[in-house]
Amino acid sequence: MNNQLLVPTKEEMMSSQVIAQTAANTPYWQKMGGMQAILSVMLLARELGISPMNAITGMFNVIQGKVEISGKGMNYLIRRAGHKLKLIMLTNEKCILNGIIS
């Protein structure tokens, strides 16, 4: 991958900041940690080819200041790559999945 593609253009960064600030002013996203946390999630998602709104609606979590991909995000990337997941067992204590590479 071309490293220049990982760095957003000035215009793209400005757009992302507007989206992040708007989201940060919304009660639903305030718990993410403010505009900077939301922007960090959006920038990481951008590198993985995930849209900003998908990113901030559950594909990533901010845990103790670190951006981590969620189970929903992992599932999305696995299925987007054409692979499959089959639920084998699910209890309150354990989840077993079978991954099928396509």
Q: Which residue has the tokens 């995930």?
A: 50
Query: Which neighbouring-strand residues pair with 98?
Result: 86
Helix (H, G, I), strand (E, B) or coil at 29: helix
For 59-76, b where at least 16 C-beta lie within 10 A, e where not — what string?
bbebeeeebebeeebeeb
pTM for the full predicted model: 0.78
Alpha helices, DSSP H only, in the chain? 10-24, 27-30, 35-47, 52-54, 71-80
Per-residue pLDDT of the chain in tens (102 residues, 90 and over written 9): 455 567 899 999 999 999 999 999 998 888 888 999 999 999 999 999 999 999 999 899 888 888 899 999 999 999 999 999 999 999 999 999 999 998
DSSP class of 48 = T
| Contacts of 36 by beta carbon, 8 Å cutoff, 6+ apart | 20
